[in-house]
Amino acid sequence: MRFYAIRDIKAGEQLFYSYCAADNSLATRRTELAPCSFVCKCPACVNATPETDKLRTTFKAQIQAFRNAALNSQISQTMLKKALKLEKAMIKEGLDIELPFALLLEVISAAYEKLGKVRKEQTIDCLGKNSGSAWKMKHRSIASVNQYFSC
Ligand SMILES: [Zn+2]
């Protein structure tokens, strides 16, 4: 098995492999894992709530709605606020490694540009100062998406 990292990995850091789709609820994940005869004890399963299940089962549709709005020039401050809220929730839930997350970042970036705003992380990065690892990871995610769609 070969892994490709989208962020730096510390020596000795544990790597995970998902047996289930990230956009499934806890109940669906447990049903899918039942034939494997184990109960998953990852943070997403142990800490699952109705809110995290809702996030997992709706984040792709929410991102698609943001993308559609952006494609139809319907970017607004309200949309940006909702997209930033989704970004925060996805990071907290560990969904920031999913491909749709990179698409969300692309929409957020387009919204900032359209609304004439500059994200703090981008400003720091452009000045060549010490940028945060979160921005580096996001930047790599967008690069990955671009490579994905250019094939
Ligand atoms: Zn799990």
The count of structural domains within the chain is 1
Q: What is the pLDDT of residue 136?
A: 44
CA of 59 to the centre of ligand 1 (A): 18
Does residue 79 fall inside a structural domain?
A: yes
Q: What is the pLDDT of residue 16?
A: 75
pLDDT tens profile 135-149: 444 444 444 444 333
CA of 109 to the centre of ligand 1 (A): 31
Does residue 33 fall inside a structural domain?
A: no
pLDDT tens profile 82-136: 999 999 999 999 898 888 999 999 999 999 989 987 776 544 343 344 444 444 4
Q: What is the pLDDT of residue 18?
A: 79
The residue assigned the tokens 């970017």 is 75
The mean-pLDDT minimum among 33-47, 68-82, 126-140 falls in 126-140
Q: What is the pLDDT of residue 121?
A: 57
CA of 89 to the centre of ligand 1 (A): 17
CA of 20 to the centre of ligand 1 (A): 8
Count CA within 13 A, CB hemisphere, residue 122: 11
- 105: Cβ–Cβ under 8 A, 6 or more apart, which residues? 87, 138, 141, 142
CA of 49 to the centre of ligand 1 (A): 13
Q: What is the pLDDT of residue 120?
A: 63
Q: What is the pLDDT of residue 53?
A: 97
Does residue 100 fall inside a structural domain?
A: yes
Instruction: Report how far Cα 92 is from the mean position of its chain's Cα atoms.
Output: 10
Cα separation of 60 and 70, whole Å? 15
pLDDT tens profile 46-63: 999 999 999 999 999 999
CA of 41 to the centre of ligand 1 (A): 5
CA of 37 to the centre of ligand 1 (A): 13
Does residue 51 fall inside a structural domain?
A: no
Residue with the larger pLDDT of the pair 150 and 136: 136
CA of 17 to the centre of ligand 1 (A): 10
Residue with the larger pLDDT of the pair 4 and 8: 8
Does residue 85 fall inside a structural domain?
A: yes
Cα separation of 67 and 104, whole Å? 8
Residue-wise DSSP of 35-68: GGT----SHHHHT--HHHHHHHHHHHHHHHHHHH
| Domain membership of residue 112 as a residue range | 59-150
Does residue 2 fall inside a structural domain?
A: no
Q: What is the pLDDT of residue 131?
A: 41
Cα separation of 79 and 31, whole Å? 35
Does residue 54 fall inside a structural domain?
A: no
Q: What is the pLDDT of residue 145?
A: 43
Residue 68 near residue 103 (C-beta atoms within 8 A):
no
Does residue 17 fall inside a structural domain?
A: no
